[in-house]
Amino acid sequence: MFSQKNSVKLLNSYKQKILTQSPQQENLPLIYLPFRKFDFEQLHNKHFPFWNPYVFGGAPFFADDQSAVLSVYTLVGSLFPYTESFLVVSILKLIITGIGMYLLLSLFSLSIYACLIGSITWMFSAFMMTFHIHHTAADAGSFIPWFFYFFERLVRSLDQGKGISLSLAGLIVSVGLSLFAGHAETTIVGSIGLSIYALTKVFMSKNSVRIIFYTFIGLLFGYLLASVQLIPFLVIVLKSEPYYLRSTAVKVLRSMPLWTVIMWFAPSFYFLREGGTLVLRQSTTYIGITSLLLAIFSISVIKRYYKTYLPFFTTMIVTAGIGYVIPPFSWLLKIPIIRLGGAFRFLAITEFSLAVLAGFGMNALYSSYGSKNGKKSNTLNIVIIPMLTLFTVGFLIGVKFNMFPSITLLNTVWIKSFSPINIGITSTEILILIILIIITLLIILKFYSVPYIAGSCLVILTIVDLFIYGMLGMEYNPLLTSQSLEPSSPIIKTLMQYGSPDYTFYTNNEVIRPNIGMLYGLRDFRGFDIVVSRLYQKFLSALFTDTVPKPDASGEYHDLPSYPDPVIASIAGIKYLIFTSTTKADSPYYKLITTYKELSLWENTQAKPILYLADAIQSVADNKDALNILLKHDPLLLHTSLVTGINESGSFDNSKVKLKRIKDRAGEHIVKVDADSNGFLVINEPYYQG
C-alpha cells in the first residue's frame, strides 16, 4: 500500500524523547514514568485505574502489576505534586530499605559501624540505585531486608519458646507490600532467597519442622494478602507473549555469562560494549569495592560464627549459581515461573547477601581491634586485600589484551574499539578501583587500633565509593524535572490538536516511542509492556503485510514496521499516522493533514471509533479463524465485524438505532440505546484479553 524512496533516519531534534537517568534505562521512560503519570491523574480524579486506554488500543492497568496502583510508594507519591513525587518516593524507598537492613544486622549484635556498612551497601547498591531507583524493582526490593528481619525474629522466638504472632505478621505484611510494590519478579526472587536461607537455618535449629511450616505460612499468606492484584496479574501473564517465549523456550533466557563477574569490580565494563543487551545493563553487580573487600574478609571468622554466617553464605552461593547459570543451582530455571523473570535477577539477592556479609566483615575487623591478638588477626586481612588487588588488576589487564582464550570478549570496546572516550572511561574506572582499594588498606592499617576512627572512615569511604559509581557511572539523579518527564515536541503538539479519545494513532518507534502517548492523553495502537498479550501480537501479522514484526528473546516488540495495511488499520481504529515526508501514500483512505520537516501527519478517513454500530456481523469459530479472515485484507471487513461465541450472521439497519454516550473514561463507557431494530454495538478495544 505504500512505497518508500529511501530509508530516512529522522533527526534527533524531531524525535519524541524523555531524558532518563542513564542510557541504559529503557524501561524507565517507556513504562514506569508513563504509568506513574496515569496513576497520579486517575487517583487525583478519584477514579480507580482498572483500564489503560492509551496503549495497545486499550489494555488492563491494575491487573498489570507494574502499575503498582496499591503500592505504598504510589499512594504516598500521589500526596505530592507529580514532578516532586519522584524525589519524595526515592527518599522514602531508601529510608525503608536502610531501616530494614539496619534492624536485620542489629539482630546479630553487630557494631554500629557494621550495621551502617551493611545498610549503606544495600541502599546504594547497583540494584537499588542505578537502573532501578525509579523502577518498581527497587520498590519491591526495598522490603527484602524486612523478609529476613521478621524471619530471623521468628526463628529466635521459636527457639526461645516465645510468641511468634508479631514476627509472623511482619513477614506476611512485608511480602504483601513487596508484591503490591509492582515487580513480582523481584518479590519471587526475594522469596526464593529467603527459602534458601530458611533451609540452611533448619539444619542449625531444634525446631526444623516448625521453621519450615511457618516460613511456608508467612510466604503463602503474604501472597494471599496481595492476591487482589496477583490473581488478575497471573491471568494476563499466562496469556502473554513474554511468558510463552521465556518459559517454554528450550534455551535458558536472560542469564549472565560467567565472565561478567568483572562487573563486581568494574561496573561500567559491559556498558561500553557496542550493541550490549539491556538485560546485562540493568543487572550490574556492584556493591562498592570497600564493601566487597569487607564481605571477603568475613570469611576469616566463618569457623567461629558459622551459625550466623553460613545461611547468608549459602544464599549468596546458590543465587549466584542461578544468576550465572552454574549447575546444579541452574536447574531451578526449569521452573517456568522462575525462568519468566530471568536468571540474572537472582544476582540481586547475591548483592543483598554480600551487603550483609560486608557488615559481618566490618564487625569481624572491629572485634579484632585492641585484642591481644589484634595484629595477628589482621594478618589475614592484610594478606587478602593486596592479593585481591593484584588479582583484579591482573584480570583487567588480561581481558584487555585477550589473554584468556576461554572468555569471549571480542565484541567489547576494549578489543573492538580503541576510541579515546572508551579508553578514557575504562582507564578512569580502573584508576578509581585501585585508589579505593589503596585507601581501604590505608584506613585498616593506620587505624586498626582505633575502632571508631576506622569504622567512621570506612563508612564514609563506602558512601563515596558508591556515589562515585552512581554519579559517574550511571548518572544517578532522583530529581526529575517537568521537561525531562514531558518534553516539548512539535509533532506531539500537532497530533494533540487533531487527536481524539475515540481513535488511536500509529507511528514508527523512531518518531514517538511506545507508551509516550500516555503522558499526553493520546491513544496509541502500540505499546511496550512485559505482559503484552499473544492475541495482540498475532493481530500484528494481519496489520503489517510486508514485514511481520517478531519479538526479541525476551518476548518484547521493540520495533514495528512503518506502514500498516489500511483496511486492518481502519478496523483497529487507527485514525492518525505519522510517516516520513518521503513516504508516498497510495491508498484512498489516507488524507494528508500537515508536514513538519521530515515528518508528515495523515488522517485515515475510514477509521472506526471506540464505539460504533456494526453494519453486519459474521460468526467465526475462534480467534484463529478470525485471524485467517483478517489476513485477506478484504475491504468488506470495514463493514463486517467478526464475532466468536454466537452462531448468527447478518446485516443490520442502523438507521433505526440511536446511541447517546453518557460517560466515556478509562475502562468505563455508559451508552443509552434507543433502538427500533436489532443491532450490534462494537467496543473497539479488541487487542487484549479481558
**3-state SS, one letter per residue, for 9-31:** CCCHHHCECCCCCCCCCCHHHHH
Give the per-residue pLDDT at 14.
35
C-alpha cell, 466: 558508591
3-state SS, residue 296: helix
Assign residue 58 a region (left: φ > 0; alpha: ψ between -120 and 50; beta: otherwise): left
102: which DSSP letter?
H
Distance CA 429, CA 423 (A): 10
Long-range contacts of 95-100 (CB under 8 A, 24+ apart): 96/142, 96/143, 97/122, 97/123, 97/128, 97/141, 97/142, 97/145, 98/122, 98/123, 100/142, 100/143, 100/144, 100/145, 100/146, 100/149
User: Within 13 Å, how many C-alpha atoms sit on residue 1's CB side?
Assistant: 20
Give the per-residue pLDDT at 433.
73
- The torsion angles phi and psi of 616, rounded to 5 degrees, stand at -160, 160
Looking at per-residue pLDDT, the higher value among 172 and 257 belongs to 172
**pLDDT average, residue stretch 667-674:** 85
Contacts for 69 with CB less than 8 Å, ≥ 6 apart: 39, 48, 49, 61, 62, 229
- The torsion angles phi and psi of 222, rounded to 5 degrees, stand at -65, -45
Top mean pLDDT of 270-279, 605-614, 661-670 is at 605-614
**pLDDT over 60 at 401, yes or no:** no
**pLDDT over 80 at 430, yes or no:** no
Give the per-residue pLDDT at 269.
56
Give the per-residue pLDDT at 17.
39
**pLDDT average, residue stretch 477-481:** 47
Give the per-residue pLDDT at 372.
38
- The torsion angles phi and psi of 3, rounded to 5 degrees, stand at -125, 150
**pLDDT over 60 at 131, yes or no:** no
Give the per-residue pLDDT at 254.
63
Looking at per-residue pLDDT, the higher value among 630 and 428 belongs to 630
Q: What tens digit of pLDDT does each residue of 265-316 get?
A: 776 655 444 343 434 455 678 888 888 888 988 887 777 777 888 899 999 9
Assign residue 666 a region (left: φ > 0; alpha: ψ between -120 and 50; beta: otherwise): beta
Query: Which residue stretches of 161-283 are H helix?
Result: 165-180, 184-202, 208-225, 227-237, 241-248, 278-281
Q: ∠ at Cα 442 (441, 448), nearest 5°? A: 90
Distance CA 257, CA 269 (A): 13
Closest CA to 377 of 391, 385, 366, 388: 366
**pLDDT over 70 at 349, yes or no:** yes
Q: ∠ at Cα 315 (338, 363), nearest 5°? A: 150
Residue type, 665: R
Give the per-residue pLDDT at 145.
96
Distance CA 528, CA 618 (A): 32
**pLDDT average, residue stretch 163-192:** 93
Q: Which range (259-263, 405-409, 603-607) has the least confidence?
A: 405-409
pLDDT band per the 50, 70, 90 thresholds, residue 669? confident
What is each CA distance from 488 to 9, 20, 482, 484, 509, in whole angstroms? Answer: 20, 15, 10, 9, 17
Q: Which range (364-378, 559-573, 614-628) has the least confidence?
A: 364-378
Closest CA to 93 of 48, 145, 154: 145
Give the per-residue pLDDT at 281.
53
Top mean pLDDT of 223-227, 384-388, 450-454, 673-677 is at 223-227
Q: Which range (90-94, 201-205, 369-373, 539-543) has the least confidence?
A: 369-373
Give the per-residue pLDDT at 411.
29
Give the per-residue pLDDT at 127.
85
Contacts for 45 with CB less than 8 Å, ≥ 6 apart: none
Give the per-residue pLDDT at 105.
93
Looking at per-residue pLDDT, the higher value among 489 and 241 belongs to 241
- The torsion angles phi and psi of 224, rounded to 5 degrees, stand at -65, -35
3-state SS, residue 421: helix
CA end-to-end distance (rounded Å), the chain:
32
Contacts for 629 with CB less than 8 Å, ≥ 6 apart: 618, 620, 637, 642
Distance CA 302, CA 294 (A): 13
User: Within 13 Å, how many C-alpha atoms sit on residue 547's CB side?
Assistant: 9
Q: What tens digit of pLDDT does each residue of 511-536 get?
A: 777 888 888 888 888 888 778 888 88
User: Within 13 Å, how many C-alpha atoms sit on residue 463's CB side?
Assistant: 8
pLDDT band per the 50, 70, 90 thresholds, residue 139? very high
Give the per-residue pLDDT at 70.
94
263: which DSSP letter?
G
**pLDDT average, residue stretch 621-627:** 85
- State the Rg of the chain over Cα: 28
Cβ atoms of residues 613 and 681 within 8 Å: yes
pLDDT band per the 50, 70, 90 thresholds, residue 175? very high
- Report the percent of the chain where pLDDT is more than 90: 18
pLDDT band per the 50, 70, 90 thresholds, residue 187? very high
Q: Which range (322-326, 545-549, 569-573) has the least confidence?
A: 545-549
pLDDT band per the 50, 70, 90 thresholds, residue 377? very low
Strands 657-665 and 668-675: antiparallel
Distance CA 675, CA 667 (A): 24
Q: What is the mean pLDDT of the chain?
A: 76
**pLDDT average, residue stretch 125-153:** 86
So where are the chain's domains?
2-62+483-604, 82-473, 611-683
C-alpha cell, 603: 488522517
3-state SS, residue 176: helix
Q: Which range (391-395, 486-490, 588-592) has the least confidence?
A: 391-395
Give the per-residue pLDDT at 11.
28
Q: Which residue has the cell 565494563?
A: 269
- Report the percent of the chain where pLDDT is more than 70: 74
Query: Which residue stretches of 324-419 are H helix?
Result: 336-341, 347-368, 374-400, 413-416
**pLDDT over 90 at 318, yes or no:** yes
**pLDDT over 90 at 467, yes or no:** no
Q: What tens digit of pLDDT does each residue of 16-72 get?
A: 333 333 444 566 777 888 888 888 888 888 888 999 888 888 888 999 888 999 999
- The torsion angles phi and psi of 159, rounded to 5 degrees, stand at -65, -30
Give the per-residue pLDDT at 518.
85
DSSP character string of 274-291: TT--HHHHTT-----HHH
